[in-house]
Amino acid sequence: MGKTTGFLEYNRELAAYRPVSDRIKDYNDVVTHLSNKNIMIQTARCMDCGIPYCHSLGCSLHNLIPEWNDAIYNNQWQEAYTRLEITNNFPEITGRICPAQCEASCTLSINDSPVTIRQIELAIIEHAFNNGWVIPNPPEFESGKRVAIIGSGPAGLAAAQQLRHMGHMVTVFEKSQKPGGLLRYGIPNFKLEKYILDRRLKILVEEGIEFVTDVIVGEDISARYLKKKFDSVLLCQGAGEPRDLDVPGRNEQRGIHFAMEFLGKMNKHLMGEISEEKTISAKGKTVVVLGGGDTGSDCVGTANRQGAKKVYQFEIMPKPEEWTAHWNPQWPDWPRILRTSSSHEEGCEQDWCVSTKEFIGKNNTLRSLKCCHVKWEKQDRSTGPIPVEIKNSDFTINADLVLLSLGFVHVEHSRLLNEFGIEYDGRGNIKARNYQTSMPNIFTAGDANTGPSLVVHAINHGRCAAEAVNAYLKK
């Protein structure tokens, strides 16, 4: 694909971040973009590898990655976009926030830097938008069937578009003021500016998808109403139940918040939904983020932009291996190595194998955390390693604000699900077989079914669930 010897001639080149001194002053995208000429050079690195793991093992959407690269190298941008939209409803989103597992499984990653797949994907879709190629695609016929989708995150939006293309009338219900779910309220603007989302939603509306917002299904609208008005219901609420930390002081001290509450309120303020006074502010405060994942990183970046005095990020898991080579040490699997985000570069002190023992306050206001270091030990052959406290490793750290970024446990067990009589699996997620729940005309997709996962997986599950709903409606 591309240029036969391109991978031997050209080095991997990534778009640079904006300078820290500039980007820390606003919430705009932190990444710059390569020119189309440089993107074409990067596509030339895609080799004729024979077995492209990038779009099979590495991508749950099975994107036709070698085919885009070949088209771009030959300056066939519209052909590249045509190939891209076959498998991915929202490449402008995955091109910005996907961790790019496809790059980890690129054949070049055996002993060299992989092709910049995510960067190329983003360049294709932005070129397509700029040239007016991304247009509404309403169905050629109407099936007469009506589908209700609960939740407008990536799974719900992908399923909605697929079902609409199949000719069904689709209504998406969203509890927040605007559609987008996690994409709008959970991801900071400096990673995903909201005009990107609104641009796509406009197309979905023009295709005939109806959005009903600021409605809690199960309270404002009953399960009985949905059964009466719709032929099928697709549950895509996400994994809304956050994992809490059950230690002394958790419920007594003010200044401890879940990460999504912190991020969501800031995003609402930036969109004009709430005033700055109603946000959770880190200005002038010492902030401790508990949890070392991407959401924790987003909290770090947001706290710094709010003017935090000092930011710490603690993770209970061991520190990943530091890896400076360009190739993947665990090819074609995802490498478990230390990664530094743009937010960490803006100011953050990290530590690993840290367990929180107590939240300490004065007059019910948080003042510090009591922590310790742990080591992970395997107790027996039947179980995995567990954290064991290291003796005399206790330490106390001052803190005015703690953000719990510990992930999610499962879908929220809401009144709606109870009224539907939905069954749960052993982890508390919605139980389903081929996306169909215990109720024949009710389906589920995304994190509500699988538990917390990646946006690219949610889009894939939304597409697959749409196929299952369509097959049911045809019967």
Q: Hey, what amino acid is at 154?
A: P
Return the biggest CA–CA distance within the chain.
Answer: 71
Mean pLDDT in residue range 315-323: 95
Residue 148: which of 167, 168, 177, 166 has the closest Cα?
Answer: 168
- pLDDT, residue 1, reads 62
pLDDT band at 384 (very low <50, low <70, confident <90, very high): confident
Give strand pairing partners of 377.
386
Kindly report, residue by residue over 26-72, the tens digit of the pLDDT.
999 999 999 999 999 999 999 989 889 998 888 999 999 999 999 99
Candidates 130, 114, 117, 131; CA nearest to 39 is: 117
Question: Does 94 have pLDDT greater than 80?
Answer: yes
- pLDDT, residue 341, reads 94
Mean pLDDT within 415-429: 95
Determine the average pLDDT of the residues in 305-324.
96
Q: What pLDDT score does 398 carry?
A: 97
pLDDT band at 276 (very low <50, low <70, confident <90, very high): very high
Does position 279 have pLDDT exceeding 90, yes or no?
yes
Q: Band of the pLDDT at 381, cuts 50, 70, 90?
A: confident
In this predicted model, what pLDDT tens digit does every residue of 334-356 receive, in sequence order?
A: 999 999 999 999 999 999 999 99
Whose CA is closest to 80, among 114, 33, 46, 32? 46
- Give the span between the Cα atoms of 192 and 97, in whole angstroms: 7
Scanning the structure block, which residue is given the tokens 């947001």? 302
Average pLDDT, the chain: 96
Domains of the chain, start order: 6-130 (1.10.1060.10), 146-240+409-474 (3.50.50.60), 244-406 (3.50.50.60)
pLDDT 10s digits, 128-162: 999 999 999 999 999 999 999 999 999 999 999 99
Q: What is the pTM of this model?
A: 0.96
